[in-house]
Structure 1
């Protein structure tokens, strides 16, 4: 399970690298926009897990459907502790992230799950080898 999760995460990082947007830097050279890649580690009240998962699913589906700057949102739960949720989040950049957290669907999720979440840790990460996979996952 751990090996397949790592393979999936690497594939998502590779997909993100392939979707990097470029913009001119004034000298005519393309400069890749720095993506925001984050792991959100969430502990959910076990009594609220089904309701939380429904809210999370709705938010992720809306984000991927409506926001071009949201490259990936992929949630997983622990085998032994299903109330420990980790979300891999990949955004086109800081502006895409700021736009995302201002959307009605994200605010609905955040406000609707406040009492369900026991802890939240946001960990910004950097893909170490984003170009090492040959295949990417469809969005």
Structure 2
């Protein structure tokens, strides 16, 4: 009986977790991860150029929804960006903007490698107003 109760609670928990953001799973929102290796001598310049580009994109482009940028604690030159766009058209429009082109030109000699990974949202949970 106790095993049945725990199994039922586990299944309900999983189903709740899956349904937390089921709308997002069915949306056309584009999620991309960019893994970037930056020249250690250019790291601060890179961060500045990235910040400028992100601020412009968020301010000027309704289809650019969010950026989250993190650095590996063991290697600050390994940067990972989680990008969210309203859809593929918003992304394609974004890469044609003057601020994005300026960013690419500015960082071309700072970036040692770039890997772009298109992803699908599996599940998301967040606190309200976060």
Superposition TM-score, scaled by structure 2 size:
0.77
Q: Where does residue 52 of structure 2 map in the other structure?
A: 58
Moved over 3 A (4+): none
Q: Where does residue 117 of structure 2 map in the other structure?
A: 123
RMSD of Structure 2 on Structure 1 (CA): 1.9
Is 2:44 the counterpart of 1:37? no
Summarize the alignment of residues 87-98 of structure 1 with structure 2, pairs less than 5 Å apart. Answer: 87-98=81-92
Residue aligned with 2:92, SS:
helix
- Offset of 1:135 from its aligned partner? 2.3
Whose radius of gyration is greater, 1 or 2? 2
Gaps of 5+ in 2: 1-20
More helix by share: 2
Gaps of 5+ in 1: 1-13, 21-31
Q: Where does residue 128 of structure 2 map in the other structure?
A: 135
Q: Where does residue 106 of structure 1 map in the other structure?
A: 100
Residues 100-124 of structure 1: CA distance to partner in whole angstroms, max 9, x if unpaired?
0000000000011000000000011
- Mark the CA change 1:136 to 1:37 in structure 2 (over 3 Å): closer, same or farther: farther
